[in-house]
Amino acid sequence: MAVTPYRWTKLGRPFVPQAIQDRPWLAEFAQAPASLLMDDRLRMYFSCRPKPDERGQYTSLSAYVDLALDDPMRVIGLAEQPILALGERGCFDEFGTYPVSVARDGDRLRAYYAGWTRCESVPFDTAIGMAFSDDGGRTFQKAGPGPVLAASLNEPFVLSGPKIRRFGDRWVLFYIAGRVWKMHAGRAEPVYKIRMATSDDGVHWVRQDRDLIESRVEPDEAQASPDVIEANGRFHMFFCYRHSTDFRSGPRGYRIGYAWSDDLLHWTRDDARAGLDVSASGWDDDMVAYPHVFQLGGATYMAYLGNGVGREGFGLARLEGSL
């Protein structure tokens, strides 16, 4: 029996960082979009970068753009400064915060983010930190200088891509964990898989300690951006995946996948239903990645990245029908 894909109408890019001239720390990239619905606007958090330093090294910062509730393609505000400070010397987030996911916690907002540090034998490592906001999400203060989720016996490196959700009385954190670094053409490339942890307080986490999504394109398929939404009595996960090598352009690059579950633990992968692929031409004709699905005004939207993993902004698509 043929699978009927979800049908998404691509709306374009609401935000292009290169159009911003007065924030040198926001020179390019709008990566890993994540929404927060507010009374008078849709706030979309993302990660960006200033120009590289004299050694060609980047740092990653996190910010937001505000979109109109009646037209999420219309920008009505932009962060004046990064929402999080970089870590002190030697800390896990000394060189970057990317990506970030924000959720309400009573009168406060809490954010989970991946902090980046530079390495010698491989380019980087990451762990997951936590921060709070008491000013409506304009700025966040870190819970402490260290991470809340870091390397462990079976998750040895690259804990990243946090997506925080609250289902019932539990906090649920979807994230990725590194499996192996593969050397290819003189470059170390990371392979990571989708994982999950639960918590009663959002600080102390119980890891499920297993991959949630089976691999398809190859055993070392890399998976990222596990975004889960509950609709019509079922959990829906949109994520992205790629080959382990030669993935920065062309057919081996990121594509968007889909899986469903009734219990958050056991997932059925069904990429044919994802419904959003590369365009024939334009800013997303080579890659689609890092999906984030949210509901607004009775409609379901997907924010996603295109070519260059968001170097020139993120796009929006609207679902025709329902999940």
pLDDT digits (tens, 9 = 90+) for 101-136: 999 999 999 999 999 999 999 999 999 999 999 999
Residue 8 inside a domain? The answer is no
Residue 252 inside a domain? The answer is yes
pLDDT at 250: 87
Asked if the model's pLDDT at residue 255 lies above 60, the reply is yes
303-307: average pLDDT: 97
pLDDT at 151: 97
Residue 111 inside a domain? The answer is yes
Q: Please state the domain count of the chain.
A: 1
Per residue in 83-104, pLDDT tens? 999 999 999 999 999 999 999 9
CATH code for the domain of 65: 2.115.10.20
* pLDDT class of 3 with cuts at 50, 70, 90: confident
Average model confidence (pLDDT) across the chain: 96
Residue 4 inside a domain? The answer is no
Residue 78 inside a domain? The answer is yes
60-64: average pLDDT: 98
Q: Rounded to an integer, what is the distance from CA 205 to the centroid of its chain?
A: 20
Q: Is 233 helix (H, G, I), strand (E, B) or coil?
A: coil
> What DSSP element (H or E) covers 190?
strand 187-199
Residue 47 inside a domain? The answer is yes
Domain that holds residue 114: 16-319
Asked if the model's pLDDT at residue 192 lies above 60, the reply is yes
Residue 27 inside a domain? The answer is yes
In Å, the largest CA–CA distance within the chain is 57
What is the C-alpha separation between 102 and 44, in angstroms, rounded?
10
Residues facing residue 155 across a β-bridge: none
Per residue in 130-163, pLDDT tens? 999 999 999 999 999 999 999 999 999 999 999 9
pTM beyond 0.85: the answer is: yes
43-71: average pLDDT: 96
Let me know how many helices (H) and strands (E) the chain has, helices first: 1, 20
